[in-house]
Chain A
Amino acid sequence: MLEVRDLRVGYGAAPALWDVNINVAGGELVCVVGPNGAGKTTLINALAGLNRATSGSIRLGGQDITRLASHLFCQAGIAIVPESRRLFTSMTVMENLELGSFLPGPRSHRARTLEQVCTLFPPVREKLNMPAGSLSGGQQQMVAIGRALMAQPKLLLLDEPSLGLAPSIVMDMFDAIRRINADGLSVLLVEQNVSMAMNLASRAYVLEEGRIVMEGDAKDLLQSPEVQKAYLGLD
């Protein structure tokens, strides 16, 4: 599904990602973990066309999308739930969801996808006509995920969906992501919440200072001494 080869991304002259290689198979849930400033957001934004690759390649379902214009990534099948959500806060929840399905393909299935989103996140149904900015953090996160689902992507990118949420809501959020993936959608999840992300994912990558330093089966990685020590504070 997704094949990232030797991806290098920088801000100005300084690279923030060095030759990153990542794969996500069809229907797989893969997570990328790493400390603050490791380059997780840089990576996920590059996959959504928000950052441009300096070198390397991004392929989605066999199609090379590395050099596509930013607004064509969505058409190729990628939808992003960006860091800190970035909803269109002055617009209503409904309008945010409609914008997720702006392209003609998803637009023609809008009513059905909207129903699926509301079934997945019941609180969203109650808030459709409210300005998105007036919702609680958890509800805004639901709308952000809903907006991405409205695009009917082949690959869903999630950048720290648990950030700033109360622990009980984090559980709900991870459960929703599990159900989205169980419906067959490929998911790439970036998280600082290492144990929860690795329990959910089938495979995991550890990103540090712009480089992939570990990768493998998520359950194995979670048990590895390096991860236990560096990310879970266990000896």
Chain B
Amino acid sequence: MTLPSLNLLAQSILSGIFLGGMYGLIGLGLGLSWGLLRQINLAHFGYVFLSGYLCYQMTQYWGMDPLLALLILPPIFFGIGVVQQWALARFRITPFNSLLVTFGLTVMIESLIQWIWTADFRKMQTHYNELKFSVGGIFVPIPELFTLLLAVGLAFAIWAAMRFTDLGKAMRAMAEDAPIAAAFGINERGLSLLLSGLCVALAAVAGICFAVIFTLTPTQIFSWVGVVFAAVMLGGLGSALGPLVAGIIIGVSEAIAMVLFAPSWAPIVSFSLLIMMLLFRPGRA
């Protein structure tokens, strides 16, 4: 093992933070629906990629700016989330079965993407790709920074809404005891539709950021499941800030492991963290 230069280490840690921000952004909606709706929505990953590909289509073929996609896609995906929740409730899908159903949905989305955009690698070319600045010899890419700030902003906004608004408190109450919440006038069905819409809209936001930063390929969908699950479970189900904090911890640990050992060590780090947390965490389920 050779010691890396400080500069390389700092650059790696920074990219670990950015990658962690991406984990957190993808995990945000996943964890909210898991913790508050009791649904493990695997289709979340499908939606992230679908939104990424749509953003690719809008920018590369229709000449739109990714920021415009950020205005257009989340409301559409909100609608998709509402429809999905309506269907899951309509057919009384249990939480465990929701895992199977949404897994199937993800496979279908993957096929749809392959059919429309083929299995080729797709890299969005926009003027944002080249934007970066440097601080003390460390390069800071603007799209990554933007993603991180967006993740932090959204996580804080949702945290504040859950904590300080009546609607947010109603969602937490519903997650704890839905029948009693209903007895005080909280419309479980309506709130669930709203929450599911919000989570899928968050998937759309993550997908757009993803498409700007990473190369898209449909088979990649499932390779993000493990590490984002780790971030969500480490951060706490239903927590708004937890997945982001945990995502950044994982991202930085991975980056350090890659610099000190080898890139293949990265997944080992995130899952060791997760398993240790599950073994040693006091109490909470």
The chain A residues found within 8 Å of chain B, CB to CB, are: 48-50, 69-75, 79-80, 82, 86, 88-91, 95, 98-100, 102-103, 107, 147, 151
Contact = CB atoms under 8 A, between A and B. Distances in A.
Given A88-B172, A91-B172, A99 B182 contact: no
B71 to A, nearest CB: 31
Interface stretch (B89-97, B105-113, B185-193, B206-214): B185-193
A71 B180 contact: no
Contacts of A95: 169, 172-173
Interface centre among B172, B173, B176, B183 (most CB of A within 10 A): B183
Contact of A100 (B172, B179, B184, B188): B184
Interface string B134-170: 0000000000000000000000000000000010011
Given A91-B172, A98-B166, A99-B169, A86 B177 contact: yes
B10 interface: no
Contacts of B187: 69, 71
28 contacts: A48-B183, A50-B179, A50-B183, A70-B182, A71-B182, A72-B185, A74-B185, A75-B185, A79-B183, A79-B184, A86-B177, A86-B180, A88-B177, A88-B181, A89-B176, A90-B172, A90-B176, A91-B173, A91-B176, A95-B169, A98-B169, A99-B169, A99-B173, A99-B184, A99-B186, A102-B166, A102-B185, A103-B185
A45 B113 CA distance: 49
A12 B186 CA distance: 25
A151 B177 CA distance: 17
B176 A147 contact: no
A70 B173 contact: no
A82 B179 CA distance: 11
Nearest to B188: A71
Nearest to B180: A86
Contacts, number: 68
Contacts of A69: 187
B166 A107 contact: yes
B179 to A, nearest CB: 5
Contacts of B169: 91, 95, 98-99
Interface string B75-116: 000000000000000000000000000000000000000000
Contact of A151 (B172, B173, B179, B184): B184
Contact of B183 (A70, A89, A98, A107): A70
A59 B36 CA distance: 34
Nearest to A96: B173
A90 to B, nearest CB: 6
B87 to A, nearest CB: 20
A70 B179 CA distance: 8
Given A49-B183, A102-B166, A102-B186, 4 more contacts: A71-B182, A88-B173, A88-B181, A99-B169
A110 to B, nearest CB: 10
Identify the interface centre among B176, B181, B185: most chain A CB within 10 Å of its CB.
Answer: B185
A200 to B, nearest CB: 24
A233 to B, nearest CB: 35
Given A95-B169, A99-B170, A102-B170, A71 B186 contact: yes
Contacts of B173: 88, 91, 95, 99
Contacts of A88: 172-173, 176-177, 180-181
A88 B176 CA distance: 6
A70 B185 CA distance: 8
Contacts of A98: 166, 169
B62 to A, nearest CB: 43
Contacts of B166: 98, 102, 107
Given A82-B180, A86-B177, A98-B166, A71 B185 contact: yes
B2 to A, nearest CB: 49
Contact of B184 (A74, A89, A90): A74
Contact of A74 (B170, B177, B179, B183): B183
A75 B183 CA distance: 9
Contacts of A103: 184-185
Nearest to B178: A70
Nearest to A49: B183
Nearest to B179: A50
Contacts of A90: 172, 176
Contacts of A80: 180, 183
A49 B169 CA distance: 21
Chain B CB within 10 A, most for which of A90, A95, A102 = A102
